[in-house]
């Protein structure tokens, strides 16, 4: 356990040193918190905070606050959810060190289905978003496929170390249809069945550019 803590500390120091200035670095960092609290056998509350930076920390790219209420169509699976997200963005003006700020309000509907084949845990997420950005209205479809595979145990249980990967594609409902694609790989540690932490690297591919993001994620599924 102590060796794992030292490894995480080393990664923190490495990425702080590597990402001193947003304009000089091509690697950003996202701090992500995902909460999914079980209300009863059918209902759940989703809560989420994403703090995205152009560097390791301090040069804000985007802040996302997302929440929603979900319902399981079957026991602990096939979850439908209605949610809301607030997104504050600070993109750079091209060719300058100046930023401009935008705020987005987003309503979304999603469906999540889970499967397990041996040690391999698979999740499919289908999401439909209605986005109000300043005075503009847009809609977007997203498909997310993730894999979690425990390494030192047969199941995702206490003290399990696991490999993680996902791919998520974004499609606009108007031209240009392709919005972005995210490809991720990482490793995680389960403190218990309800709490886990994960670190990894994600490549975000846009229509005319791409960017690498380091990610530090914390997952909390402690029930009420």
Give the number of domains in the chain: 1
Quick check: is 77 in a domain?
Answer: yes
> In this predicted structure, what is the pLDDT of residue 97?
86
Q: Which domain holds residue 187?
A: 29-220
pLDDT digits (tens, 9 = 90+) for 154-206: 999 999 999 999 999 999 999 999 999 999 999 999 999 999 999 999 999 99
* Top-confidence residue, 70 or 135: 70
**Distance from C-alpha of 172 to C-alpha of 180, rounded to nearest angstrom:** 9
> In this predicted structure, what is the pLDDT of residue 9?
47
Find out whether 26 and 211 touch, Cβ atoms under 8 Å: yes
Quick check: is 79 in a domain?
Answer: yes
* Top-confidence residue, 223 or 69: 69
Is the pLDDT at 22 greater than 50? The verdict is no
Residue 71: its H or E element: strand 60-74
Residue 10: its H or E element: helix 2-18
- Per-residue DSSP letters for 153-181? SSSS-TT-EEEEEEEEEEEESSSS-EEEE
* Tokens 């845990």 belong to residue: 121
Q: What is the CATH number of the domain that holds 199?
A: 2.40.160
pLDDT digits (tens, 9 = 90+) for 80-127: 999 999 999 999 998 888 999 999 999 999 999 999 999 999 999 999
Residues in the chain: 224
Quick check: is 9 in a domain?
Answer: no
Here the tokens at position 91 are 């993109």
Here the tokens at position 93 are 């003006």
């Amino acid at each position: 356990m102590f060796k794992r803590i030292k490894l995480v500390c080393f990664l923190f120091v490495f990425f702080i040193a590597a990402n001193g200035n947003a304009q000089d670095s091509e690697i950003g960092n996202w701090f992500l918190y995902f909460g999914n609290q079980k209300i009863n056998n059918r209902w759940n509350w989703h809560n989420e905070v994403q703090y995205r930076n152009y560097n390791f920390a301090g040069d804000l790219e985007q802040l996302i606050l997302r929440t929603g209420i979900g319902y399981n169509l079957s026991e602990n699976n096939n979850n439908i959810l209605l949610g809301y997200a607030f997104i504050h963005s600070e993109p750079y003006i091209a060719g300058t060190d100046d930023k401009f700020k935008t705020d987005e309000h987003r309503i979304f509907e999603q469906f999540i289905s889970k499967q397990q084949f041996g040690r391999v845990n698979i999740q499919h997420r289908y999401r439909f978003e209605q986005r109000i950005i300043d005075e503009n209205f847009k809609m977007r479809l997203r498909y997310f496929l993730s894999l979690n595979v425990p390494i030192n145990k047969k199941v995702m249980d206490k003290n399990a170390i696991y490999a993680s990967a996902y791919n998520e594609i974004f499609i606009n409902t108007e031209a240009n249809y392709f919005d972005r694609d995210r490809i991720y790989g990482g490793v995680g540690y389960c403190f218990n069945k309800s709490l886990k932490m994960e670190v990894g690297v994600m490549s975000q591919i846009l229509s005319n550019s791409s960017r690498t993001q380091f990610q530090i994620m914390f997952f909390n599924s402690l029930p009420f």
